[in-house]
């Protein structure tokens, strides 16, 4: 698999973990350098994507499939954690990847156009 995503669901708890295979392009390589180590089990760490890269991935999925769910997910992230998100990083990559219009739409939806 060169890119894509899959998920694993724990049958007892119903917890779901989404796995995304990093792309082999400049943004994909940048994602890997920005990953965050987090404990996932006692004595077991794993890596998670930085929130900005989750946003960019959701912009990409929206661009490919048009599901408004991804934009709603991004809006939810901004509503609850915007002070923790590097908006400039997302702006730069959204522009480079051709998702700037979608990004601006979500930001305007949440912040009325202010960043």
Cα–Cα distance for residue pair 9/104, rounded to 1 Å: 33
pLDDT greater at residue 20 or residue 98: 98
Q: Is the pLDDT of residue 27 over 70?
A: yes
DSSP one-letter string for 22-42: PPSSHHHHHHHHH-EEEEEET
Collapsed DSSP state (helix, strand, coil) of residue 17: strand
Q: How does pLDDT run across 54-108, given as a tens digit for each residue?
A: 999 999 989 988 789 999 999 999 999 989 999 999 999 999 999 999 999 999 9
Structure tokens at 111: 């912040």
The set of residues, in sequence order, having a beta carbon less than 8 Å from that of 104 and lying 6+ positions away, is none
Radius of gyration of the chain (CA): 15
Confidence of residue 3 (pLDDT cuts 50, 70, 90): low
**What pTM value is reported for the model?**
0.82
């Amino acid at each position: 698999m060169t890119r894509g995503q899959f998920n694993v669901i724990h049958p007892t708890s119903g917890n779901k973990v989404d796995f995304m295979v990093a792309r082999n392009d400049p943004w994909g390589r940048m994602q890997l350098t920005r990953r965050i180590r987090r404990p996932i089990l006692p004595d077991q760490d794993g890596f998670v994507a930085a929130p900005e890269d989750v946003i960019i991935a959701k912009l990409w999925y929206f661009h490919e499939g048009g599901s408004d769910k991804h934009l709603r997910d991004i809006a939810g992230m901004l509503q609850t954690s915007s002070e923790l998100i590097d908006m400039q990083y997302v702006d730069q990559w959204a522009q480079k990847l051709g998702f700037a219009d979608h990004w601006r739409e979500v930001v305007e939806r949440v912040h009325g156009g202010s960043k």
